[in-house]
Structure 1
Amino acid sequence: MSEAEAKSAAPSAEILEWPKKDNRRLLHAVYRVGDLDRTIKFYTEALGMKLLRKRDIPEEKYSNAFLGFGPEESHFVVELTYNYGVSSYDIGTGFGHFAIATPDVKKLVEEVRAKGGNVTREPGPVKGGNSIIAFVKDPDGYTFEIIQRPSTPEPLCQVMLRVGDLERSIKFYEKALGLKLLRTIERPEYKYNIAILGYAEEDQTTILELTYNYGVTEYTKGNAYAQIAIGTDDVYKSAEVVNLVTQELGGKITRQPGPIPGLNTKITSFLDPDGWKTVLVDNEDFLKELQ
């Protein structure tokens, strides 16, 4: 390596250390629904979530609502978006599911059934294991896995996305976002492998579950699921990291770091190598927004 190359490599290595020092947390998942009041009713009555805040932006012709199992300052939540006049969306083949942890899967599934939800897998042990799970769908067709856990600080515990190259995706999320690989699951008999990534242990936080189905390198994104938001202490440094990682592994920055007009919350956004979008949000600005 020449002296010039060594000098340019040193700052890059320093920049790539930033996500390990940063104060990061998964904040919310954003997706679109065809009837906001209907979805709020289902999530609160059938899934047990709380409506945390709701806002209408008539000049931009949309409304949104934030729901979860605890305050946004400390819990992962869902941000539902309703665009005026749009009653349905295409979820696509790439989005997998959200997951809710509960002490009693059967009880929650019965609540879902009673409120008109679609139970697609009855409660029972996972194939080849002892964990009790079920799968249900909300009125828009989004899938929720229901996982039995005696207790958890974070009931809204998982977002699952499908990817075309698991090793590449693991590297991307470790390097670009500082997520830790908690475990991998190989299921050759069912022709899929899974990687679980998070900022803390699986039973303590919301995790990202990436699934690779053998031989499938590309999925349709649809227009329903939008993005995950993650908190950061410095969107500018974080964008520098993402810029370096996308040059190595693919993906691209879609919004340069800076404040949102009118709101002044600093963000940056990017696509991973599979086209999944992440928004990084300034931690201090996010807390001010909540106040």
Structure 2
Amino acid sequence: MAAEVEAEPVVASENALEWVQKDKRRFLHAVYRVGDLERTIKFYTECLGMTLLRQRDIPEEKYSNAFLGFGPEDSHFVVELTYNYGVDKYDIGTGFGHFAIATEDVYKLVENVRSKGGKVTREPGPVKGGTSVIAFIQDPDGYIFELIQRGPTPEPLCQVMLRVGDLDRSIKFYEKACGMKLLRKIDNPAYKYTLAMIGYDDEYKSTVLELTYNYGVTEYTKGNAYAQIAIGTEDVYKSAEAVDLVTKELGGKITRQPGPIPGINTKITSFLDPDGWKTVLVDNADFLKELQAE
């Protein structure tokens, strides 16, 4: 990733929070690190059915990227894989949960994964006490993917699950700082967890964050594998004003003040939520220009 450059701190205004609710936002990509880029590309394309959308090598900064997903980046959520030269293993930590893929036939997808040497960690079948058919598989770096059986959907790459220490605080943070909506909340006392689905549209039509609170657990290790989620915005400066206000109330901090990335000129800002999970907000127009330039 490009080095982060500090700019002058933002000065927040109260109407920034109102603006966030009107901003045109969507999930762009999840960024995480892998030990062998070609191995992971092969697994995602052959086993999971993703398409390699673009790939780039930045030798001066000693890393390579690959972007994969189920549709073009200007309209779909994708994964951004990062390979750092010479690093073949990362610690995923205890806080990151899984990614999820919606498919019309979980059994068929699992058999495809198995036939190509993939690791199945939960055989396909209904969830306990319910009718939803799911399975879990593991990629070559140890990242878990939940496979969910659903009808046709415009966004198969449908969830990113993160564990948090205070669910209500996290919901409030993402609602106010990111303009997300609470789609549903599920408490499961038998298994001692509560989860919340939050995002920008119906969870059966778009990507959502699945925030999970395990009873009595307030802290998790982050490791060094999963990096961040990127979200598009119409204005990174106004976005940063809102984040600044919310972090003062609920915790977290801005880690990169709004402004263009040197050499690329795409405007971004980044911040940590109260649990330390990182989000990068990217200017929508700049993001489209970046895609057209590659």
TM > 0.5 fold call = yes
| CA apart distance, 1:53 | 0.1
Deviations along 1:31-52, whole A, 9 cap, x unmatched?
Answer: 0000000000000000000000
Q: Is the 8 A contact 2:13 2:241 kept in 1?
A: no
Quote the Cα distance in structure 1 between the aligned partners of 2:116 and 2:228: 27
Residues of 1 paired with 2:269 and 2:13: CA distance?
Answer: 19
Q: Which runs of structure 2 are paired with 1:29-48 in the superposition (5 Å)? A: 29-48=30-49
Q: CA deviation at 1:128?
A: 1.6
Measured in 2, the distance between the counterparts of 1:141 and 1:271 equals 24
Looking at structure 1, the residues matched to 153 and 123 of structure 2 have their Cα atoms a distance apart, in angstroms, of 22
- Alpha-carbon deviations, 1:184-243, whole Å to 9, x = none? 000001000000001000111000000000000000000000000000000000000000
Output the amino acid matched with 2:249.
E
Q: Which runs of 5+ in 2 are unaligned?
A: 1-11
Alignment match, 1:111: 112
Say if 2:211 is the partner of 1:210. yes
Match of 1:5 in 2: none
Confirm or deny that 1:64 pairs with 2:100.
no
Mapping of residues 169-184 of structure 1, within 5 Å? 169-184=170-185
Amino acid at match of 2:81: L
Paired position in structure 2 for 1:234: 235
Deviation at 1:12, TM superposition (A): 4.1
1:225-274 Cα offsets, whole Å, 9 max, x none, are: 00000000000000000000000000000000000000000000000000
Deviation at 1:63, TM superposition (A): 0.3
Letter aligned with residue 223 of structure 1: N
RMSD: 0.7
Other-structure match for 1:281: 282
Q: TM-score, normalised by structure 2?
A: 0.95
Identity %: 82
User: Which stretches of structure 1, 4 residues or more, deviate above 4 A after TM superposition?
Assistant: none
Match of 1:131 in 2: 132
Letter in 2 for 1:289: E
1:22 aligned onto 2:23: yes
Q: Give the drift of 1:14.
A: 1.5
Residue 114 of structure 1 deviates from its aligned partner by 1.2
Matched, 1:271 2:287: no
TM-score normalised to the size of structure 1?
0.96
CA distance in 2 between partners of 1:148 and 1:34 (Å)? 29
Distance 1:128 1:220 in 2: 31
Code of the aligned partner of 1:27 = L
Q: Distance in 1 between matches of 2:108 and 2:89?
A: 29
Task: State how many pairs are aligned.
Answer: 281
Q: Which has the higher contact order (CA 8 A, sep 6+)?
A: 2
Residues 56-205 of structure 1 correspond to what in structure 2 (within 5 A)?
56-205=57-206
Unaligned runs of 5+ in 1: 1-10
